[in-house]
Amino acid sequence: MIDKLCAYFGNPWIGMFIKTNDETTFVPLDTPDKLVKKISENLKTNVVRVSISDSNLLGIYIAMNSNGVVLPNVATAAEISAVKETGLNVYISKDKNNALGNNLLLNDKGALINSNISKEEIKNIQDTLGIEIFEGKIANYSTVGSACIANNDGFLAHFNTSESELDDIKKKLKINGLKGSINMGVGFISYGVIHNKNGYLAGELSSGFELGRVEEALGYIK
């Protein structure tokens, strides 16, 4: 399982800096070649170096699934162009709540979103991602994208997620899932994991039990 552990310049919160779907992974401009290689081998994706608002916090700013990418309004024209070169549908959100990675939990079947996002924006995001989006909370947090990860086979949610919230995720994303933690006991799962249908990587502080939970929840163990 040690091959599943990594860090970004010693920082185990890799999900804050990296965003991926099944085909493309966005990484910061300064990502070491060794980490790029590890991502490519584990996720089997095309790795693209990019920034958002000259920041390396791609996982915080970007929401994406197999159909499209939602970027914040602080992204520059050059950054937007670099993302569009992947061939994905791209929508630039106008909402002031521009940490899209924090505010959206999604797969290719459905999504939960922070209820503070405007209804107009939700409609535009739905059209880009090709899924129905519902307002919700996870572990009583509105930033649903920070407290859970999901693919088309399952999800892993913050350990404080209530049973009613778990049921909501199951219904809206049309998958089953579990509760857990990452990086030795932290419930904000998405900050410590990058994943797609092909595989995953987790922050280097994560325990074997936590990695096993990721693998079970996301369907890597059949």
Tens digit of each residue's pLDDT, the chain (222 residues): 669 999 999 999 999 999 999 999 999 999 999 999 999 999 999 999 999 999 999 999 999 999 999 999 999 999 999 999 999 999 999 999 999 999 999 999 999 999 999 999 999 999 999 999 999 999 999 999 999 999 999 999 999 999 999 999 999 999 999 999 999 999 999 999 999 999 999 999 999 999 999 999 999 987
CATH architecture under which domain 2-217 falls: 5-stranded Propeller (3.75)
Distance separating alpha carbons of residues 55 and 14, to the nearest angstrom: 14
Contact 61, 72 (CB under 8 A): yes
Domain boundaries, the chain: 2-217
pTM beyond 0.75: yes
Contact 208, 183 (CB under 8 A): no
pLDDT at 221: 87
Strand partners, 67: none
pLDDT at 222: 73
Residues 6+ apart with CB under 8 A from 181: 158, 159, 187, 189, 210, 213
Strands across the sheet with 68-71, in order?
A: 63-64, 68-71, 89-92
Contact 52, 98 (CB under 8 A): no
Record the tokens describing residue 101, joined without a space.
Answer: 């990675």
Contact 139, 160 (CB under 8 A): yes
